[in-house]
Amino acid sequence: MSTKKFNKYFISLLLVISFITFVTKASKVTAVGFNVSDTADNTSYHLNQTEDILHIKSNNYSAKIHIPDEIVNVLCKEGTFSLLCVSKASPNTYFYTIREYNIYSQNLTTIATNTPAVSGQQDFYTDNNGTYYITDTQDSRKIHIITEDTSDCITAPSIVYQLLSVDNSSLLTFTGKGTYLLSGKSFMYLTDLLPDTPCNYLGNGIVTDSKNKRYILSDTSFSEVIESSAIHSTNTGNTPQDAPIITKGNLIFISGGTTFAKLYKNLGIEKSELKVYKTDGNKVTSGSLGTGMLAEFSGKSYSLIVAGDLTGEGNINSRDLKALMNHLTDEVPLKEPYLTAADLHNDKKIDTKDLLALSKLY
């Protein structure tokens, strides 16, 4: 072979090798980013995967860990990241792998599955009790269930639009045939009601969608909260309209719409013997009395309670409903005596049963 031909051959070989090297590197280089919040404390993290290195960053934390597979979705709770990965078993075969990384112990564990995988972001959920759920990319009715020991697949009643992790190790399941509660491998029908936009779970049985509509979830029902701007005096469950005055310790329970005149008459005292003050210290001599007002007579002071009145206005309206939802989602916690007024079921706790009862009062 002549020198000229050899050089030409050598240059061609170098070009082929360079091209193969470029393609190989390009196929390995991935730049996948995720923004995720810890569901326990709302700490925000940014995750970025470049090749096989995952960078995790927050305001107070930074780490690099080796993840050899493509990450397609991320969950985070109490400092533990659940990474849904696509692992290559053979040139044309891929399976999902779940890798759990704890930022405190820095432990990385792996749950291998036999669930066929596809590249690209995939819906990924957990019941927060060690079980993971992946919706099938080929059949929208199928849901893959993965635990540390087993992999299984179940079929929903209809097309699955969204799974939503809620309390009690269950998932709220929105399908083409209504809303179900998925617990383990069983679906329990709740209602035909189906939100038309993606939803988020706020905790304590409250669900909100992207249009800011709110819903109440219980063990057996799922219903929309219909907020109204109208203000009504109403029966109040614990203290129905025209019910007798109930005194417990330093609390007086009155019905919605009770006025200053009605209070002193029902107490069996003279008008001059009763003094009522608002929370700002101003005297009240007319109009409806509300939760939090202070009544003084016979040398003693009492806090007034109107069941369901969480704003001190003396009636039940959408502002009370909003106050209770804000309490249940820890946005603006209620304090006494409004906590007592919110306990419509008299069971010493505030939950979605009280929210459902309150929504029916106005």
pLDDT in tens, 226-248: 654 333 334 434 444 445 577 78
- At residue 291, does pLDDT exceed 60? yes
Q: Which 8-state DSSP code applies to residue 351? A: S
Q: Which of 6-20, 99-113, 284-298, 313-327 has the lowest mean pLDDT?
A: 6-20
The two most distant CA atoms of the chain are separated, in Å, by 125
Average pLDDT, the chain: 82
The pLDDT value recorded for residue 227 is 54
Placement of tokens 């700002």 in the chain: 280
**The pair of three-digit structure tokens given for residue 220, joined into one six-digit string:** 């057996």
Q: How far apart are the first and last CA of the chain?
A: 97
Assess whether pLDDT exceeds 60 at residue 303. Answer: yes
CA angle in degrees (0–180, nearest 5) for 225-335-331:
50
Looking at this protein, which amino acid is placed at residue 325?
M
Q: Classify residue 261 by its DSSP letter.
A: H
Q: What is the pLDDT of residue 2?
A: 56
Higher model confidence: residue 212 or residue 272?
272
As a whole-number percent, the residues of the chain with pLDDT over 70 amount to 85
Distance between CA 294 and CA 303 in Å, rounded?
5
So what's the pLDDT on residue 4?
52
Predicted local distance difference test score (pLDDT) of residue 80: 93
Query: What pLDDT score does 274 carry?
Result: 92
| pLDDT, mean of residues 35-41 | 87
Would you say residue 213 has pLDDT above 80?
yes
User: Which pLDDT tens digit goes with each residue over 76-132?
Assistant: 989 999 999 999 888 888 899 999 999 999 999 999 888 888 766 678 888 877 889
Query: CA angle 356-166-84, nearest 5°?
Result: 160
Position 136 scores a pLDDT of 85
Its sign, for the CA torsion 236, 240, 242, 247, is negative
Q: How confident is the model at residue 31, as a pLDDT?
A: 59
Q: Kindly state the percentage of the chain with pLDDT values over 90.
A: 34
This prediction's pTM? 0.62
State the Rg of the chain over Cα. 30
The pLDDT tens digits for 118-171 are 766 678 888 877 889 998 878 889 999 988 888 889 999 999 999 988 876 789
What's the pLDDT score for residue 286?
84
SS3 356: helix
pLDDT given at position 1:
54
pLDDT confidence of residue 12: 56
Count the Cβ atoms, other than its own, within 10 Å of residue 353.
16
Contact between 341 and 328 (Cβ < 8 Å): no
Instruction: Read off the pLDDT band of 310 (50, 70, 90).
Output: very high
Whether residue 198 is preceded by a cis peptide bond, meaning omega within 30 degrees of 0, is no
